[in-house]
Amino acid sequence: MNASRTILLRQAMGETIRDLRMRAHRTLRDVSADGQISLGYLSEIERGQKEASSEVLAGIADALSVTSGELMLEVAERMLAYESDAVVSLGARLAA
């Protein structure tokens, strides 16, 4: 595996949450309020600086109107894409 294509779980989670939030046309403030998570903590999660507990992830998923399973599946797909050197933006995959 190429080290430049390695992504940490917290980074993949953050990128995926941000993508889902942007696709839903939601602000950090909206999701933090609906998910009962502090705005600063949600921002750190999205930037891949903090790892969220399963309870926090469930709140974020609910606030984004996706299931925890759907969130985790998108994270797994993102990680596989990085690891296989076939990085395709989530938006491009969805538009296809």
Could you tell me the CA-to-CA distances from 81 to 33, 53, 58, 60 in Å, in that order?
A: 31, 24, 24, 23
User: Given a cut of 70, is residue 84 above it in pLDDT?
Assistant: yes
Band of the pLDDT at 35, cuts 50, 70, 90?
very high
CA distance 32 to 46: 11
Q: Who has greater pLDDT, 82 or 73?
A: 73
> pTM surpassing 0.75?
yes
Q: Who has greater pLDDT, 27 or 94?
A: 27
User: Given a cut of 90, is residue 22 above it in pLDDT?
Assistant: yes
Going by the DSSP 8-state scheme, the letter that residue 52 receives in this structure is: P
Band of the pLDDT at 1, cuts 50, 70, 90?
very low
Contact (Cβ atoms closer than 8 angstroms) between residue 12 and residue 78: yes
The radius of gyration computed from the CA coordinates of the chain, to the nearest angstrom, equals 13
pLDDT tens by residue, 52-79: 999 999 999 999 999 999 999 999 999 9
Task: Copy the structure tokens of residue 78.
Answer: 């993102």
Give mean pLDDT, residues 8-27.
Answer: 97
